[in-house]
Amino acid sequence: MNPLRKIDPKFPGPESEDRWAFFCPGCNCSHWFWTGENQWTWNGSIDKPTVRPSILTKWNTRLFDPEGINGIDVICHSFITDGKIQFLPDCTHKLAGQTVDLEDWNKYDLQQISD
Ligand SMILES: [Zn+2]
Protein backbone atom coordinates (compact mmCIF):
# COMPACT_ATOMS: atom_id res chain seq x y z
CA MET A 1 0.00 0.00 0.00
CA ASN A 2 1.23 3.44 -0.89
CA PRO A 3 -1.57 5.90 -0.11
CA LEU A 4 0.71 8.93 0.28
CA ARG A 5 2.72 10.52 -2.48
CA LYS A 6 5.53 12.93 -1.67
CA ILE A 7 5.19 16.22 -3.49
CA ASP A 8 8.18 17.32 -5.53
CA PRO A 9 10.05 20.06 -3.59
CA LYS A 10 10.18 22.14 -6.78
CA PHE A 11 6.39 22.23 -6.98
CA PRO A 12 5.07 25.63 -5.80
CA GLY A 13 3.26 25.77 -2.49
CA PRO A 14 3.93 25.88 1.21
CA GLU A 15 7.53 25.40 2.27
CA SER A 16 8.05 22.16 4.14
CA GLU A 17 10.41 19.21 4.00
CA ASP A 18 7.41 16.94 4.12
CA ARG A 19 4.55 17.70 1.77
CA TRP A 20 2.28 14.81 0.98
CA ALA A 21 -0.74 14.19 -1.20
CA PHE A 22 -3.41 11.57 -0.72
CA PHE A 23 -6.30 10.67 -2.96
CA CYS A 24 -9.69 11.72 -1.62
CA PRO A 25 -12.50 9.45 -2.82
CA GLY A 26 -15.07 12.00 -1.65
CA CYS A 27 -13.75 14.75 -3.94
CA ASN A 28 -12.15 12.46 -6.55
CA CYS A 29 -8.94 14.47 -6.42
CA SER A 30 -5.88 14.85 -4.24
CA HIS A 31 -5.53 16.81 -1.02
CA TRP A 32 -2.30 17.86 0.65
CA PHE A 33 -0.91 18.10 4.11
CA TRP A 34 2.53 19.25 5.18
CA THR A 35 4.53 19.21 8.36
CA GLY A 36 6.37 21.99 10.16
CA GLU A 37 5.90 24.45 12.95
CA ASN A 38 2.19 25.08 13.54
CA GLN A 39 1.37 22.68 10.71
CA TRP A 40 0.19 19.11 10.74
CA THR A 41 1.82 16.33 12.67
CA TRP A 42 2.25 13.02 10.91
CA ASN A 43 3.26 9.67 12.38
CA GLY A 44 5.79 9.10 9.57
CA SER A 45 3.94 6.08 8.17
CA ILE A 46 3.21 5.99 4.45
CA ASP A 47 1.30 2.74 4.77
CA LYS A 48 -0.84 3.63 7.81
CA PRO A 49 -0.63 7.39 8.20
CA THR A 50 -2.10 9.30 11.11
CA VAL A 51 -2.27 13.08 10.65
CA ARG A 52 -3.39 15.72 13.15
CA PRO A 53 -5.29 17.97 13.34
CA SER A 54 -8.08 17.49 10.80
CA ILE A 55 -7.65 18.43 7.14
CA LEU A 56 -10.15 20.98 5.89
CA THR A 57 -10.28 21.67 2.15
CA LYS A 58 -12.59 24.13 0.44
CA TRP A 59 -12.55 24.13 -3.33
CA ASN A 60 -14.76 24.75 -6.33
CA THR A 61 -15.45 22.36 -9.18
CA ARG A 62 -14.28 25.06 -11.61
CA LEU A 63 -10.77 23.96 -10.59
CA PHE A 64 -11.18 21.00 -12.95
CA ASP A 65 -13.46 22.74 -15.42
CA PRO A 66 -12.17 26.29 -15.88
CA GLU A 67 -14.70 26.97 -18.62
CA GLY A 68 -17.55 25.83 -16.43
CA ILE A 69 -19.96 28.57 -15.53
CA ASN A 70 -21.76 26.97 -12.63
CA GLY A 71 -19.04 25.79 -10.30
CA ILE A 72 -20.02 24.03 -7.12
CA ASP A 73 -18.40 24.87 -3.78
CA VAL A 74 -17.14 21.75 -2.04
CA ILE A 75 -16.17 21.38 1.62
CA CYS A 76 -14.13 18.34 2.58
CA HIS A 77 -13.15 17.87 6.22
CA SER A 78 -11.49 14.72 7.49
CA PHE A 79 -9.26 13.06 10.01
CA ILE A 80 -6.63 10.62 8.74
CA THR A 81 -6.07 7.92 11.34
CA ASP A 82 -4.15 4.67 10.93
CA GLY A 83 -4.60 4.61 7.15
CA LYS A 84 -8.28 5.52 7.15
CA ILE A 85 -10.10 8.74 6.30
CA GLN A 86 -12.91 9.74 8.63
CA PHE A 87 -15.07 12.23 6.77
CA LEU A 88 -16.73 14.63 9.17
CA PRO A 89 -20.40 15.57 8.88
CA ASP A 90 -19.65 19.03 7.44
CA CYS A 91 -18.38 17.52 4.17
CA THR A 92 -20.63 18.40 1.26
CA HIS A 93 -19.84 15.23 -0.69
CA LYS A 94 -21.37 11.77 -0.63
CA LEU A 95 -18.93 10.32 1.92
CA ALA A 96 -19.84 12.78 4.70
CA GLY A 97 -19.96 10.99 8.03
CA GLN A 98 -18.27 7.85 6.68
CA THR A 99 -14.88 6.30 7.41
CA VAL A 100 -13.07 4.60 4.52
CA ASP A 101 -9.61 3.16 3.89
CA LEU A 102 -7.07 5.35 2.15
CA GLU A 103 -6.46 3.87 -1.28
CA ASP A 104 -3.26 3.15 -3.13
CA TRP A 105 -2.18 5.89 -5.53
CA ASN A 106 -1.36 3.26 -8.12
CA LYS A 107 -5.08 2.57 -8.54
CA TYR A 108 -5.55 5.88 -10.27
CA ASP A 109 -4.50 7.37 -13.53
CA LEU A 110 -2.27 10.10 -12.19
CA GLN A 111 -2.73 12.11 -15.37
CA GLN A 112 -6.23 12.84 -14.22
CA ILE A 113 -5.23 14.00 -10.78
CA SER A 114 -4.34 17.63 -10.40
CA ASP A 115 -2.16 18.61 -7.52
ZN1 LIG B 1 -11.93 15.57 -0.28
For 60-85, the pLDDT digits (tens) are 988 888 787 778 899 999 999 999 99
Q: What is the pTM of this model?
A: 0.86
99 Cα: distance to centroid of ligand 1 (angstroms): 12
Per domain, the residue ranges of the chain are 4-10+17-112
59 Cα: distance to centroid of ligand 1 (angstroms): 9
| pLDDT per position as a tens digit, 95-104 | 999 999 999 8
CA dihedral 13, 36, 55, 45 (to 10 degrees): 110
| Alpha-carbon gap, residue 73 to 70, rounded angstroms | 10
6 Cα: distance to centroid of ligand 1 (angstroms): 18
**3 state DSSP class of 72:** coil
74 Cα: distance to centroid of ligand 1 (angstroms): 8
Give the type of residue at 16: S
